[in-house]
Amino acid sequence: MPAHLWEIVGLALACSVPVVLAGALVIRLARSWSLAVSMVALVLIPVLATFSGVLGASRFMITETFEQTAIVLVIVSVVTIPAAVMLARYQARRTVWEQEIRESERAAEHSRRQLVAFVSHDLRTPLAGIRAVSEAIADGVVPDAEVRVHAKTIEQESVRLSEMVDDLFEMSKINAGAVQPVFDSVALDEVVDDVLTAHRITAERARVTLTAQLPDAPVRVLGSDRALVRVLSNLVANAIAHTPEGGRVSLSLGADENGAWARVDDTGVGIDEGDLPRVFDVAYRGSNDRVPRADSSLPSGSGLGLAIAAGLVQAHHGTLSARNLGTGARFEVRLPLAAD
């Protein structure tokens, strides 16, 4: 290689390498920059390094070749910098999406593990009762006069198992996003009548007063009457379970500028403040347990009722919230009103 070419190479390197090193130092020190600014810096560093190298190779003289090269570099910068900004924004959104997906997958996996552990634990109790009573009857340990009583116990535990399986199936559909209710115009006052009919006997046996407060005009929403009966039924069952004898559970309806609402109020033990953010989580059990009952035949539920209610309300494009009252707690369902 001729000597003058070596000289040009040396000048180009002497001028461009410091720019590259300075740019690398800036990028390393500026970790708090946004991704868009970082991408612009990555574009400008080679452009400025090239500009410096060409300037050095021309021995810092503004020649025609240098002017042409400078124009090309400016055009390249004008084209690539906006492209780098758009690419950086896209990459930032993609990174956020991927992070949200990973967090959602981790939360779903944690929820599934909790659900499996929860159901496995709760299934053992009725199964153990059925097995113990069945073995006692089969071994002739139970007197003939008590067989009917123990058969009733087996029936009650079987009902509990059936309810748990139904709730587990419903919860699995909700988690899989397979709940797609048929959106018809539903009168919430008719839903309340069905819920009261289903729980009136249970409330009487628990010695809890169950009442309803309905508006004069029907409140109509879009949704599935079966699913909405399930929602309010779960909330009422939960309220009865946490209300002591002599207490009261009230179901009320109404509508305002934000849509229709249904509230289930009780005079029970309330919800621990630390439990409120997680009260609708799958398999979450709060600090305040159910009120003990003398009548063991009263339904105890699967523990998935609130999570199922929240999932069904979400499928109806509504919201479900919980808060404490002066005495007891309030669960409020918000749903879009049906068009007139």
Q: Where are the domains of the chain?
A: 3-100, 182-340
The closest of 194, 318, 213, 200 to 259, measured between CA atoms, is 318
Measured in whole angstroms, the distance separating CA 118 from the mean position of its chain's CA atoms is: 19
Pairing mode, if any, of strands 184-187 and 220-223?
A: antiparallel
The closest of 285, 316, 231 to 118, measured between CA atoms, is 285
Tell me what percent of the residues of the chain surpass a pLDDT of 70.
Answer: 68
Tell me how far CA of residue 184 lies from CA of 5, 124, 232, 320, in angstroms. Answer: 83, 40, 18, 20
* Per-residue pLDDT tens listing for the chain (340 residues): 565 566 667 766 777 777 777 777 776 766 666 666 666 666 677 777 777 777 776 766 777 776 777 777 777 766 776 776 677 677 767 777 788 788 877 776 776 676 666 666 666 767 777 788 788 888 877 787 778 877 877 877 787 677 677 766 766 666 666 566 667 888 999 999 989 988 888 888 889 999 999 988 889 998 888 888 888 988 998 899 888 889 999 999 999 888 899 999 999 888 888 888 888 876 666 555 555 555 555 555 556 778 888 888 888 889 999 999 888 899 999 999 887 6
Architecture of domain 182-340: 2-Layer Sandwich (3.30)
- Residues 92-122 have pLDDT tens digits of 677 777 887 888 777 767 766 766 666 666 6
Q: Which residues contact 298 (CB under 8 A, 6 or more apart)?
A: 202, 205, 206
